[in-house]
Amino acid sequence: MALIGQDIAQAKQLLEQGQLVAIPTETVYGLAGNALNPDAVLSIFTAKDRPSFDPLIVHTDSIEKAERWVKYFPTPLKSLAKEVWPGPLTILLPKKELIPDIVTSGLETVGIRIPHHPLTLSLLQSLDFPLAAPSANPFGYISPTQAEHVNQQLGDLIPYILDGGACQVGIESTIVAWENNRLHVLRLGGLSVEVIETLSKQKVVLNLNQSSNPQAPGMLKSHYAPRKPMHIGNIDELIKKYKDKRIGVLSFQRDVPNTTIQRILSPTGDTHEASKNLFRFLRELDQSEAEVLITEFVPEYDLGRAINDRLQRATYSE
């Protein structure tokens, strides 16, 4: 198992040696390596069993540093970055040669983000290279939101996990790009479309889930998925349908009696609380006695859209 602790100097030393360290962020835990070292980046793909066509997000701690790795930073995106960073927003920008092709799966753009977590920001400040860091889970499985989740699945493959407690946002970053003078959202995530539209004072173009779109490989239909079969729809009807099985329920607000196990995303109906709980609850249900998992869509506003996107990919639709 990996060592778990809060020793930034140790994390820094390992990263400088080209090794991997799991890092806390406000979205989910990342599996980090030196983004400028192709061998370190290759070991991220290997540890996760991640296909090489799925590009990694690069993390840094200031806009000035970000500008070292990109050819230019369109003004509207930079203004948005200034408002939101550190925060759950990844911005696609044209990369300089310095960023190895393996990071971006050969694409001309690189996804950059300043994560909002004190430990990881201190670590990034102490480094003179950025960190490539996808979520610290085996490819396709539920993303980790606590150090222990990382240890359960990747503990034997990495030396150190920087423990920053539970992730406060709980789902991955929103990904945006600037194309044809418009702001495009390529992945829904921890910063809502409503907030982006308010801050940028413009309507965004939603350009989601197009795995055939070479801009966004990795937006796969099945992702973030538990190992147990999970079905989404009307909870009462699904309970009738699977009445002969041990059922685990993930509801938005409502208490559902007489199930083997139940988790309520947010009893008060708060999509931020729901997003913070989502992956932990999915993990708990997946590790429970239940044979079949049942869930429902949450309201399509604020972080609800990103939650529904994750639920859709984790389930079989009825």
Answer yes or no whether residue 134 interacts with ligand AMP by CB under 6 A.
yes
SS3 (DSSP) at 121: helix
d(CA 86, CA 81): 8
Instruction: Specify whether the CB–CB gap between 295 and 249 falls below 8 A.
Output: yes
Q: Which of 273, 245, 282 is nearest to 149 (CA)?
A: 282
Report the residue number, 163 or 172, with the smaller CB distance to ligand AMP. 172
Residue from the set 175, 238, 264, 282 that interacts with ligand AMP by CB under 6 A: 175
Of 101, 53, 100, the C-alpha closest to 214 is: 53
Shortest-Cβ-distance residue relative to ligand AMP: 218
**Under rule CB under 5 A, residue 173 binds Mg ion:** no
107 binds ligand AMP (CB under 6 A): yes
- Interface pattern 12-51 for ligand AMP (x via CB under 6 A): ----------------------------------------
CB of 47 to ligand AMP, least distance (A): 13
> Residue length, the chain?
318
Q: Does residue 145 interact with Mg ion by CB under 5 A?
A: no
Phi, psi of 10 (to 5 degrees): -70, -40
Maximum CA pair distance of the chain? Answer: 59
Tokens in use for 221?
């239909």
Binds Mg ion by CB under 5 A, chosen from 27, 135, 145, 151: 135
State which of positions 48-77 bind ligand AMP (CB under 6 A): 54-55, 57
Q: Which stretch binds ligand AMP (CB under 6 A): 34-42, 75-83, 104-112, 278-286?
A: 104-112
- The distance of closest approach from Cβ of residue 302 to ligand AMP in the complex, given in angstroms and rounded to an integer, is 20
CB of 291 to ligand AMP, least distance (A): 29
Under a CB-based contact definition with an 8 Å cutoff, are residues 42 and 133 in contact? no
Angstrom distance (rounded) from CA 112 to CA 131:
10
Q: How far are the Cα atoms of 174, 260, 267 from residue 298, in angstroms, in the given order?
A: 18, 22, 12
Which residues are CB-neighbours of 214 under 8 A, at least 6 positions away? 107
Label the pairing between strands 261-264 and 182-187: unpaired
Q: Out of 84, 219, 235, 282, which residue is the one contacting ligand AMP (CB under 6 A)? A: 219
Only one of the segments 74-82, 146-154, 211-219, 281-289 lies at the binding site for ligand AMP (rule: CB under 6 A); that segment is 211-219
Footprint on this chain of Mg ion (rule: CB under 5 A) = 135
Footprint on this chain of ligand AMP (rule: CB under 6 A) = 54-55, 57, 92, 104, 107, 109-111, 134-135, 172, 175, 187, 215-216, 218-219
